[in-house]
Chain A
Amino acid sequence: AQSVTQLGSHVSVSEGALVLLRCNYSSSVPPYLFWYVQYPNQGLQLLLKYTSAATLVKGINGFEAEFKKSETSFHLTKPSAHMSDAAEYFCAVKGGSSSASKIIFGSGTRLSIRP
């Protein structure tokens, strides 16, 4: 079984500051991990994903995440926040390559950017 926990339902940073959104997962098999972003009144859009290749994954809009098996974490970072980064961010886990495995989403973290 898989589960994912996002620490902090709301994160606020200043424009230009580091963005760090935390995600911890639980999986009984080697996981696939995802970060999605949701802008107001829109569906979710894939930011990046880890599927057992390189542990540091680069995504769109300058975001990246590092898979740390020892810490069961997949935190999302961006060196310098931009006002356009304000959105809801969802971490998700899938039980590897099994076609029967469904994606499990976290509860989301709302990112606010202060001018």
Chain B
Amino acid sequence: EADIYQTPRYLVIGTGKKITLECSQTMGHDKMYWYQQDPGMELHLIHYSYGVNSTEKGDLSSESTVSRIRTEHFPLTLESARPSHTSQYLCASEDSPYSDTQYFGPGTRLTVL
């Protein structure tokens, strides 16, 4: 059973607010990912990390930023939220190199008014 957590599950905020989406895993995985997913649509990789102090931008350009100060924690921050940021954000960690399986959190559904 994978132990990866995301908070909050749902967030409704106004334009211009700064927000941080939390993601934590207790499995000791080095690799972690953030995906953006619109309803009924594919996943787009926006950030990933292969370990502490390692972060990279993904395939989809995003105005968000991430940090990886601890192995278990991979927060995503939006400095100034806009309606175009409304989406679902999924965090995942990967059991690499042992199984290459990604374990997903339940997601944060963000609505920016």
Contacts and interface: CB of A to CB of B under 8 A. Distances in A.
A44 interface: yes
Interface string B86-113: 0000101010110111111111010000
A42 B102 contact: no
A107 B45 contact: no
A14 B16 CA distance: 47
A110 B90 CA distance: 18
A45 interface: yes
A51 B101 CA distance: 11
A94 interface: yes
A52 to B, nearest CB: 11
Contact of B40 (A42, A44, A108): A108
B104 A44 contact: yes
B42 A106 contact: yes
Interface of B: 4, 6, 40-43, 45, 48, 90, 92, 94, 96-97, 99-107, 109
Interface of A: 32, 34, 36, 41-46, 49, 51, 88, 90, 94, 97, 99, 102-103, 105-108, 110
